[in-house]
Amino acid sequence: MKKILSVLFIVALLVLLVSVNASAAKRHVIDNTGTMTSDQISRIEATCKAIKAEYSFDVIFVVTNTIGSKTLERYTTDIYDAECEFEDGVIFVFNTEEFGHEDEDNWAIIGFGKGKKLAGNYDTRAALMDKMSYDLKRGRDNKSGENFYNASTYFTNKCRSFCAGGFKGDPVDAGKVIIRIIIALVIGFVIAYAVTKKEKKKLTTAVKQMGAMNYMVKDRSNITAARDIFLYSQTTKVRRESSSSSGGHSYGGTSGGGRSYSGGGGRI
């Protein structure tokens, strides 16, 4: 009996150790570029773990230099499935890899569960990228871990404020919206009135004619044939650059792990 109890105790201990190790393997910060220091990664990890402990909300920050053959959207959702415990959360991924195709995304913000209200909001993504894009570019171009760390603080601070606000996303200021609508209506009315009044004055210049001679144009020319001759042409091509203030385009669907998500991505 004692032997059986000893065996059961050892098995239970092993199961506990495996569970602890599996839990410890979950990452909140992934830096495949090797630019961030261990101290910077530890600080970001600590912030993400604090948010997770307080709000049961996963937050992941990723910097990578390759996504293989996957799209950035699929790469991002796969990481969330592999690393996250909760159904609610947000993940940000920045890919420093140079693409052959300039329209491919190199950043993505995707939310799951309650996180969809944050990542799925275009204005929220745009405001966040306005703050993050400078440091992300500097981190990529100068291989600066400090810049990537700075970008992560904007992201984690936004996630914390979102959680603290009750997962409601950015509030809409109804008062400002109403004021803008009123101003737009007033401006439209003024413009319409001015145009109508001007056109009405033109109508008062008409005088009734007794004959048809005054309607004939004097010294008119009869053109029976015409052609355009172009001496040369010039075509200018301009590279289209993505705006750092853009919230990108939208993502949405179900991850490989069966989680529903929404968000967006773009290129800086």
Whether the per-residue pLDDT at 175 is higher than 50: the answer is no
**Is 206 or 91 the better-scoring residue by pLDDT?**
91
Pair of tokens at residue 220: 């008119």
Whether residue 94 contacts residue 110, with contact meaning beta carbons closer than 8 Å, is answered with no
Whether the per-residue pLDDT at 180 is higher than 80: the answer is no
Task: Report H helices in the chain.
Answer: 2-25, 38-55, 72-83, 116-119, 122-142, 145-164, 174-203
Could you give the angle at the alpha carbon of 173 between the alpha carbons of 170 and 177, nearest 5°? 130
Residue 104: the pLDDT is 85
Q: Are strands 58-64 and 29-31 parallel, antiparallel or unpaired?
A: parallel
Q: Is 53 helix (H, G, I), strand (E, B) or coil?
A: helix
Residue 241: the pLDDT is 45
Residue 26: the pLDDT is 83
Distance CA 243, CA 245 (A): 5
- Packing angle, helices 145-164 and 122-142, rounded to 10: 160
- Packing angle, helices 145-164 and 38-55, rounded to 10: 10
Residue 248: the pLDDT is 87
Annotated domain spans of the chain: 27-172+247-266
Distance CA 209, CA 215 (A): 9
Distance CA 25, CA 214 (A): 93
pTM score, two decimals? Answer: 0.66
Note the pLDDT tens digit of each residue in 20-52.
Answer: 333 444 899 999 999 999 999 999 999 999 999
Instruction: Of 123, 66, 125, give the one whose Cα is nearest residue 90.
Output: 125
Note the pLDDT tens digit of each residue in 87-136.
Answer: 999 999 999 987 655 678 999 999 999 999 999 999 999 999 999 999 99
Percent of the chain with pLDDT over 70: 60
Instruction: Of 144, 146, 155, give the one whose Cα is nearest residue 39.
Output: 146
| CATH of 27-172+247-266 given 3.10.310.50, 3.90.1150.10, 3.40.1190.20, 3.40.50.2000 | 3.10.310.50
Distance CA 89, CA 159 (A): 9
